[in-house]
Structure 1
């Protein structure tokens, strides 16, 4: 509704934030007072984004001042969404004009806060448990006949996704002499979280009596990755690769992405599982990218509203540790600095096909189990699962948010 009204305002060269006197006010008559305020607020944000795109920074700042006065990091989903988008727009103006008079209200996200936010998202939102379970189930089905399994994970974080795989392998295959599970974590930061994750996974493996090894490969840049870094045992191991929300960060670095795919071609894993945001955050048009991101994050903020109290500390960790970082990167940065460049599954399909990969259809069993996971959440009724074209699309109230697909080489 805010988008439609913004178009009407723009086409009529009429901007007035007083609800009672503008010519389209009657269209809001059926809404509550809070909803009317949310529509007005979103409309102001869109107007500010347009001014920023046209380099009308003074006018944009005036609109942003109003946005920040009305919005709140503790308010409704719309108020929270606008709060962080207005903050990112203001940062973009500072970068483009060199102004430093505007006080920045955010703190740099630290690794530990992001880890806590990751754990909170996994516990509170249905999307991530669905994605993790489906990834694990797909890997398990691909290595079912193999006794030696090697998983290469490109973003292991807490490793919460792997105990289920470890338990399933321990139950199904590790009665075979010489069988084992290896996990290799690819780490591109100075954090030692991966090592701590490894100790926890090793402890769990001992409890399961599962032959298990774990190692971390530290890289300063993904372009430095070589096949020999992964220490794969050719002809012996079934290799599975897990890419959770990582490939999009390489879209701005095509040489790095090409090198990574070259390594994958040499490895020829039995399955490569890819989770990504199902959105177009890579448009060269700032306004198009802004609107796409606004719908995407608006749905995520709304999902938190149905899942957690407004003052929940985990909700705050998610919004400040993950959502804010993504919004700032999409809205306020350009060039190689802008690493959050999500594209739709159709774009990834075209890309993987160029490297001789074929898409695997997710099993009926994994989709059924994913639907059961959704039902365990109080907000599950609003979470949608679409399996029309081999991959899984996870959405919120009809808005696609994430995709999970599985691939292998010819």
Structure 2
């Protein structure tokens, strides 16, 4: 079974590169033969690790042999393991083209063309599985409680979901017993070039939010942190570039530029954001990374609350084999969840999986500053927050009830648990997304 890996919108056809897959099955090493005929998830993982090891040792022949086997397993319209394998194979080919481009006969350029969604499409994307909505719900509930009694609220929003979180909060604020506060939302001028991508500018998003807030009688103001060196046209730089303007952004996170006001409750919202801030130390080990510098800066702004939500997996490691193992066993979750309610040939499912494939390609195919997916687990993030001078804020019972109500709208495999200071979204018992809330140490109620 020779398959074509279908991406979105432009697929990469493996048949166009026959030199990768012209090795007969009989030439596989004994270690690989042990997996043939029993290609479950564990064996697929072993094959991926064999391929990675071969690439790291420049063993082109073995890499080609393993890719031949993987290509006979991979299918973009098969079961979850087959679909996931197709994206790992693509990522390994992308990596191989950089290791030995002549031998692999592949041009090495990424063929994943990321689609731009309309606002309506983005809403459907967010609602598909609770991957994003879990964080929205937990964060909004914690924010709502933290700003009780405040007549003015300023949210500094660092997120990849283009303010999809805020209509629900605006609606809740409109019903507040003491009346809605005056709400101000500020977003950065740039963001990481990762899905989901929107086909309208940040200003247009702000206009739409403003119209909704006006309809709900919530006084509203929307600001984009200005930067003359970055276009707000909605166009993003490619993933091959290491310049994401984070240093420029951090230089503007100060009370003057943000126009912070003494009568406002400041909220810092980080949704799937911190992982894209580089964690390497520039110069000596004593120099803070951009990730730690960001936390130090926002602590200095004296926020009323900081909410941090991200995927609960540790992918911020240098070892390729460790990343493959962790990534394969973690990103199985959305592939398996989609299997429960969408047909195998569903375009919505294929597009969603293609966005996950973008992440896999960056995690596996790139190194150094070009690898921008540097996720850390909730446990490690919590320790980082404590080291940065933050104290955790427990989620109240009302938040727990709201999250449980949200999960009732989705498949029965989704669940939630408390783990130390975190709320964790689970799929069939496996951690997927964590939510945490923090205040600068010494500012606890």
**TM-score in terms of structure 1 length:** 0.85
**Cα distance between partner residues in 2 of 1:209 and 1:310:** 44
**Cα distance between partner residues in 1 of 2:160 and 2:211:** 16
Deviation of residue 152 (structure 1)? 0.9
Map of 1:138 onto structure 2 = 142
Which of 91, 109, 117 pairs up with 1:88? 91
Structure 2 residue matching 1:172: 3-state secondary structure: coil
Map of 2:23 onto structure 1 = none
Structure 1 residues 296, 39: closer, same or farther in 2, change over 3 A? closer
Structure 2 residue matching 1:387: 3-state secondary structure: strand
Compare 328-337 and 60-69 and name the one that shifted more: 60-69
Which of 435, 438, 441 pairs up with 1:404? 435
Deviation of residue 229 (structure 1)? 2.6
Contact 1:271 / 1:407 at 8 angstroms: preserved in 2?
Answer: yes
Deviation of residue 236 (structure 1)? 0.6
String of CA shifts for 1:79-137, please: whole Å, max 9, x gaps: 11000001101111111123362267963333615978754442110232221111111
Map of 1:182 onto structure 2 = 184
**Cα distance between partner residues in 1 of 2:366 and 2:132:** 27
Match status 1:313 vs 2:351 = no
Deviation of residue 76 (structure 1)? 1.0
Question: How many matched pairs?
Answer: 379
Map of 2:394 onto structure 1 = 361
Map of 1:66 onto structure 2 = 69
Contact 1:244 / 1:275 at 8 angstroms: preserved in 2?
Answer: yes
Map of 2:263 onto structure 1 = 236
Which of 4, 7, 15 pairs up with 2:32? 15
Structure 1 residues 77, 57: closer, same or farther in 2, change over 3 A? same
String of CA shifts for 1:181-219, please: whole Å, max 9, x gaps: 001111315975322211110110111121100111245
Structure 1 residue matching 2:183: 3-state secondary structure: strand
String of CA shifts for 1:169-190, please: whole Å, max 9, x gaps: 12216737xx410011113159
The unaligned stretches of length 5 or more in structure 2 are 1-28, 194-198, 231-244, 282-288
Structure 1 residues 173, 222: closer, same or farther in 2, change over 3 A? farther
Structure 1 residues 113, 328: closer, same or farther in 2, change over 3 A? farther
Structure 1 residues 304, 344: closer, same or farther in 2, change over 3 A? same
**Cα distance between partner residues in 2 of 1:18 and 1:401:** 28
Which of 412, 415, 421 pairs up with 1:390? 421
Deviation of residue 364 (structure 1)? 1.3
**TM-score in terms of structure 2 length:** 0.79
Map of 2:274 onto structure 1 = 247
**Cα distance between partner residues in 1 of 2:361 and 2:57:** 19
**Cα distance between partner residues in 2 of 1:74 and 1:106:** 21
Deviation of residue 353 (structure 1)? 1.6
Contact 1:134 / 1:366 at 8 angstroms: preserved in 2?
Answer: yes
Compare 118-127 and 241-250 and name the one that shifted more: 118-127
Deviation of residue 334 (structure 1)? 0.8
Contact 1:223 / 1:260 at 8 angstroms: preserved in 2?
Answer: no
**Cα distance between partner residues in 2 of 1:156 and 1:103:** 30
Structure 1 residues 282, 165: closer, same or farther in 2, change over 3 A? same
Contact 2:55 / 2:99 at 8 angstroms: preserved in 1?
Answer: no
Structure 2 residue matching 1:201: 3-state secondary structure: helix
Contact 2:415 / 2:425 at 8 angstroms: preserved in 1?
Answer: yes
**Cα distance between partner residues in 1 of 2:273 and 2:173:** 26
Deviation of residue 158 (structure 1)? 3.7
Structure 1 residues 200, 95: closer, same or farther in 2, change over 3 A? same
Contact 2:183 / 2:219 at 8 angstroms: preserved in 1?
Answer: yes
**Cα distance between partner residues in 1 of 2:314 and 2:121:** 24
**Cα distance between partner residues in 2 of 1:68 and 1:103:** 18
Structure 1 residues 211, 116: closer, same or farther in 2, change over 3 A? closer
Contact 1:47 / 1:63 at 8 angstroms: preserved in 2?
Answer: yes
String of CA shifts for 1:340-371, please: whole Å, max 9, x gaps: 11111221122112221101111111112111
Deviation of residue 308 (structure 1)? 1.8
Structure 1 residues 265, 37: closer, same or farther in 2, change over 3 A? closer
Query: What is the RMSD of the two structures over their aligned residues, measured on CA atoms?
Result: 2.6
Task: Write out aligned runs for 1:152-191 (5 A).
Answer: 152-155=156-159, 157-172=161-176, 175=179, 179-189=181-191
Map of 1:23 onto structure 2 = none
**Cα distance between partner residues in 1 of 2:154 and 2:115:** 27
Structure 1 residue matching 2:419: 3-state secondary structure: coil
Map of 1:107 onto structure 2 = 111
